[in-house]
Amino acid sequence: MGIKPLIFIHGGAGNYRLFSEEALQRRRVLLNEIAVKSFEVLISKSALDAVEYAVKLMEDSGAFNAGLGSVLTLNKRVEMDAGIMDGKTLNVGAVACISNFGNPISIARRIMEETDHILIAGVSAERLAEFFGFKPDSSLITEEKLERFKKVYDAWIKGERKRMLKIREIVMSSPDLFNFLDTVGAVAIDSDGNVASAVSTGGYWLKLPGRIGDVPLVGCGFYADNEAGAASASGVGEAIAKVTLSKMCCDFMRNGFSAQEACEKAIAVLTRRIGDNTAGIIAVDKTGGYGFAFNTAGMCRSIFIEGMEKPAVAIFPEEPFIVD
């Protein structure tokens, strides 16, 4: 039997217990819609096109911490990272620390396809994006974000949020600082057995200007290899990078574990070596199996596999996530 094409998307791992039911529902609706739309691209085009499109729609939604919805740095700027990988060719493209473009994932893809490099950062990446024809977007810093910034900043100044001492201390002593991890990502496999992975983020609130996390680093926030599978992660970037989470997950699949076993094993290593409440991951293996695991309170996720009537969508571990 041939491979059933599937797209699996995520809208971040984090403490969604703190969100209102309305905010959670908004995410579920978007995840459902975006899984449906990107599945159409998967069927008519390829896994690579589908993961880029899914992430682009999530960037455009403004509801997730990527593209339009990106959070602010310590000096009230937006600095976004994104990465994409084609499992057929092992081609990679990534962009880091860009401030004023709505779709970092598409810039990452152009870097993959039209340059000799895999990762371009900062002002040079922005110049390159303009050269590629992307239009700068000045609407990324909103009043709403500035208000939220003030709350987070005030709490930090008062010492309610211990921050910027050392990343490990931040993660261990103030997990609440990372409550709003809404990074977006996607993995897919098409009917030719090609896999792809994509991920895009604004990082996290109050990050130092110039900080680059796991998202544009190949093997950390994303990885794809037709001989293994594809993975896309979300969570505390410094933790994810230390264990090269997505590559580790793909290596488990390469060694014969299913996507589900690989995700569980990768998150178990992360939890043991770095700590709990640090990240989540989604994956697809080369046989078309899917998996996910997280050590955070929740992970926004949606999957659409050929033959399903509608996508499965869930955020919390206890929520039904029915794939039939």
Of 73, 115, 142, 183, which is the active-site residue?
183
Judged by CB under 6 A, the number of residues near ligand ASP is 16
Supply the minimum distance, in Å, between the C-beta of residue 1 and ligand ASP. 35
Supply the minimum distance, in Å, between the C-beta of residue 184 and ligand ASP. 9
Comparing CB distances to ligand ASP, the nearer of 12 and 87 is: 12
Residues of span 195-254 touching ligand ASP by CB under 6 A: 201, 203-204, 213-215, 221, 234-237, 240
Comparing CB distances to ligand ASP, the nearer of 190 and 214 is: 214
Comparing CB distances to ligand ASP, the nearer of 167 and 308 is: 167
Residue 183 is a catalytic residue:
yes
162 and 178 Cβ atoms separated by less than 8 Å? no
Task: Give me the residue whose beta carbon is nearest to ligand ASP.
Answer: 237
Nearest CA among 220, 179, 178, 180 for reference residue 199: 220
181 binds ligand ASP (CB under 6 A): yes
111 and 91 Cβ atoms separated by less than 8 Å? no
Q: Which of 5, 12, 69, 288 binds ligand ASP (CB under 6 A)?
A: 12
65 and 202 Cβ atoms separated by less than 8 Å? yes
Interacting residues with ligand ASP (CB under 6 A): 12, 65, 181, 183, 201, 203-204, 213-215, 221, 234-237, 240
Active-site residue list: 183
